[in-house]
Amino acid sequence: MALLIPSLTRSASLWRGIVISLCGAALITLGAKVQIPFWPVPMTLHTLAVFFLAAALGPRLGFAAMAAYLGAGAMGLPVFSGSPERGIGLAYMAGPTGGYLAGYLLATLVAGRLAEGRGLAGRLLAMLAGLAVVYAFGLIWLALFVPVSGLIAAGFAPFILGDLVKIALAATLATGLGRLKGRVE
């Protein structure tokens, strides 16, 4: 019987990770679908969800949640912002926003790792580093669709202010959750 306990513990831990990742993917989907009227492009809460999860769950589970979200989208589920109207599946992922999606995946590792054990300021800086990854990948990919002269106007300027507000909120929420979790344990 003693030999089964570690196996059950590992199995329970695996299932816990899977459930957390799928719930995280659902939260990212919800963030992508919520649109706040904004000029010139409507703002979503996608960035808020991704960076909150990276800081709250850490790099491994944050990455798993984002990977599950991307996997669901690749299979054709309408999880992305503007889908199914603007396309679904791999066709959507290969479109102009594909680089940002890949950037978010890598940003969960960067922000999640850098945010570990940090306070509000450290989490905020970690998320800024992650946001730089998102914009780097996003703008490089977007350059395949938009003339370089219009790249900043199309893929950076309309979003940066909103993204900075969202990561400030994500850092605050993750820090508050961390404090709450510390009190409960």
Residue 87 belongs to domain spanning: 16-34+44-184
Calculate what percentage of the chain has a pLDDT beyond 90: 79
Note whether residue 116 is domain-resident.
yes
- Domain membership flag for residue 110: yes
Residue 137 resides in a domain: yes
Pairing between strand 43-44 and 35-36?
A: antiparallel
Question: Would 2 be classed as within a structural domain?
Answer: no
Q: How far out from the chain centre does Cα 68 lie? A: 11
Is residue 5 included in any domain, yes or no?
no
105 vs 83 pLDDT, higher one:
105
Q: Report the length, in residues, of the chain.
A: 185
Average pLDDT for the chain: 91
Inside any domain, residue 3: no
* In the predicted structure, residue 127 carries a pLDDT above the cut 50: yes
129-146 residue pLDDT tens: 999 999 999 999 999 999
Q: Which two structure tokens, joined as six digits, stand for 31?
A: 């963030």
Is 169 within a domain? yes
The mean pLDDT of 96-102, rounded to a whole number, is 95
C-alpha to C-alpha distance for 73 and 82, rounded to whole angstroms = 12
pTM of the shown model: 0.90
Task: Give yes or no for residue 60 having a pLDDT over 80.
Answer: yes
Q: What is the pLDDT of residue 6?
A: 58
Is 41 or 138 the better-scoring residue by pLDDT? 138
In the chain, the number of structural domains is 1
CA 133/CA 111 separation, integer angstroms: 10
> 10 vs 81, which has greater pLDDT?
81
pLDDT the model gives residue 13: 87
What is the domain-level CATH number for residue 52? 1.10.1760.20
Say if 30 falls within a structural domain. yes
Residue 1 has a pLDDT of 46
